[in-house]
Amino acid sequence: MIENRNIICIASDWFYDPTSKHHVMRILSRRNHVVWVNYHGSRRPGLSWADARAALGQLRRVIHGPRRVADNITVVTPLVVPLPGSRTAAELNRRLLVRQIREVIGGLPPRPTQLWSFAPDVDYLCGQFGEELIVYYCVDDFAEFSGYDASAIRAAESRLIDRADLVVTTSMTIYDAKRRMSQETILVPHGVDVDHFARATDPATTAADDLAGLPRPILGFWGLIQDWVDVDLLAAVATDRPDASVVLVGEPATDVSALRDRPNVHILGRRPYASLPSFARGFDVGLIPFRINALTRAANPIKLREYLAAGLPVVSTPLPEVARYRAWVELAATPRQFVAACRRVIENRSSTAARARQAAVQAETWQGKVEVICRHLDLPRASRRTRS
């Protein structure tokens, strides 16, 4: 395991819902100091209220300055210019980021530095901190995100991969693509906080208050409601199952008007990560209603393992990474198939099936994933070419 290092982590917002980057960096912070950089320069902001609100929140954090959020984690929100593809903006961002990050690193005990990036377009930071190694942790096909400059992202990502000592990928689709660009590429699928989500099957855990009184069965989803969520599919399911409650726990960041007039659809908004086991306790089914496109074919939904660790039956659209768990998941491509799959898993619910789902992900802890990555970093470059 890596220890006694200062790790610069280029990632999205620390203060948002936990994702792979949060879990990985919390584990690494036990023996290292992590400087988490809230990077927000990959996408050109639009004119929406959501973008304006996000920009205002980022500005407040810029003004606040570096913030110690844990014993060994310092979060800094740098001032950057979100104009991807602009050479002028890239050079300005390089100067701004380097100066702001160096100020934080300068206040830490002098130790070897590593650069870990979960963003694809910060190649200009490579070599700026005397870092002993660079890790690119790739969890998505970023060029496929709405609002991103695809050509600029691909070009910057290619330069970052050229400089990286290790490229970590989380799906086979991404692995295959990045392995063609660098032999220093490994596949490490997402982990799960097993103990946290297993609380859903503990008799001491009660269902979330938000679910009290809702008609059953409850078909539940948690996560960001972005344009990759098939809102029309959910609307069709709600129409076909008026007796069921469709519950969405997460912030809507796309048009959900198709759901607003469905009386059995309940959009609850964001809830704390700590409360998710109580929602799982009250759900009858965990849903992954993603559209099938280039972005989602490369995705590996973290919620899949969270649902399974909670013992929940899962119904999903046929995403490649979810299909690898077809022994414990129902796949459905159409609204009719989705409704039928939900009915089947509800009818076949049992404590034995719940334990089998939990056992399927029992070994897939975040601690184990970090150990795999660290073992590869301990190897000479030429020896890292075995897929994990």
| Nearest-angstrom CA–CA distance, 22 and 67 | 16
Q: Tell me the CA distances in angstroms from 310 to 248, 271, 318, one per residue in order.
A: 17, 17, 21
pLDDT of residue 60: 53
Query: pLDDT value at position 307?
Result: 98
Enumerate the domain spans of the chain.
6-191+365-383, 194-361
Q: What is the CA radius of gyration of the chain?
A: 21
> What is the CATH number that goes with domain 6-191+365-383?
3.40.50.2000
Q: How many CB atoms lie within 10 A of CB 325?
A: 17
* DSSP state string for 87-138: HHHHHHHHHHHHHHHHHHHHTSPP--EEEEESSSS-GGGTTSS--SEEEEEE
Q: Which pLDDT tens digit goes with each residue over 101-131? A: 999 999 999 999 999 999 999 999 999 999 9
Task: Specify the pLDDT at position 367.
Answer: 98
Token pair, residue 80, equals 């950057």
Topology adopted by domain 194-361: Rossmann fold (3.40.50)
Q: Which pLDDT does position 92 carry in this prediction? A: 81
Quick one: pLDDT at residue 84? Answer: 65
- pLDDT at position 383 is 45
User: Apex CA 252: angle with CA 251 and CA 258, to 5°?
Assistant: 145
**How do beta strands 166-169 and 6-11 pair?**
unpaired
Domains 6-191+365-383 and 194-361 agree in fold? yes
Closest to 271 in 3D by CA, of 364, 207, 316 = 207
Identify whether the C-beta of residue 169 lies closer than 8 Å to the C-beta of residue 175: yes
Collapsing DSSP to helix, strand or coil, 283 comes out as coil
Please report the pLDDT score of residue 291 as a whole number: 98
* Cβ-contact 281, 309 below 8 angstroms: no
Can you give the pLDDT at residue 290? 98
* Contact call for residues 6 and 112 (beta carbons, < 8 A): yes
163 membership: H or E segment, kind and range: helix 150-163
Handedness of CA 280, 286, 292, 298 (dihedral sign): positive
Q: Report mean pLDDT in 10-residue bins for the chain, 388 residues.
A: 96 92 98 94 51 49 72 89 70 83 93 97 93 98 92 95 98 98 98 98 97 97 97 96 97 94 96 98 98 98 98 98 96 96 94 96 98 90 45
- C-alpha 313/C-alpha 347 separation (Å) is 11
Phi then psi for residue 249, to 5 deg, are -105, 105
DSSP per-residue letters across 33-63? EEEEEE---SS---SSHHHHHHHHHHHHHHH
Take residue 84 and report the two structure tokens written for it.
């991807």
Considering the entire predicted model, what is its pTM? 0.91
